[in-house]
Amino acid sequence: MTTSVSLAEPRAQDAQQHFDIRALDAPLGAEVIGLDLTQPLGVADFARLHRAHLDHHVLVFRDQRITPEQQIAFSRRFGPLQIHVLHQFALPGHPEVLIVSNIVENGKPVGLGDAGHFWHSDLSYKEKPSLGSMLHAQELPAEGGDTLFANMHLAWDTLPDHLRRAVEGRSAEHTYLARYAELQARSPWRPNLSAAQIAQVKPVEHPVVRTHPETGRKALFVSEHFTTRIVGLPEDESRALLEELFAHSVREDFLYRHVWREHDMVFWDNRSLMHLAAGTPDHLRRKLYRTTIEGDAPF
Give the residue numbers annotated as catalytic, written as ranges. 120, 122, 275, 290
Sheet containing strand 227-230, strands side by side:
204-207, 171-174, 227-230
Q: Tell me how far apart the alpha carbons of residues 100 and 91 are, in angstroms, rounded to a whole number.
A: 10
SS3 state of residue 10:
coil
Angle (CA) 254-258-263 rounded to 5° is 155
Question: Which H or E run includes 196?
Answer: helix 195-200
Say how far apart CA 272 and CA 122 lie, in whole Å: 11
- Give alpha helix (H) positions in 158-232: 161-167, 180-186, 195-200
* 153 membership: H or E segment, kind and range: helix 152-157
Q: For residues 233 and 241, what is the distance between their CA atoms, to the nearest angstrom?
A: 10
Q: Are strands 30-33 and 58-61 parallel, antiparallel or unpaired?
A: parallel
User: Is the CB of residue 280 less than 8 Å from the CB of residue 272?
Assistant: no
Interatomic CA distance for residues 249 and 190, integer angstroms: 27
Given a contact cutoff of 8 angstroms between Cβ atoms, the answer to whether 260 and 145 are in contact is: yes
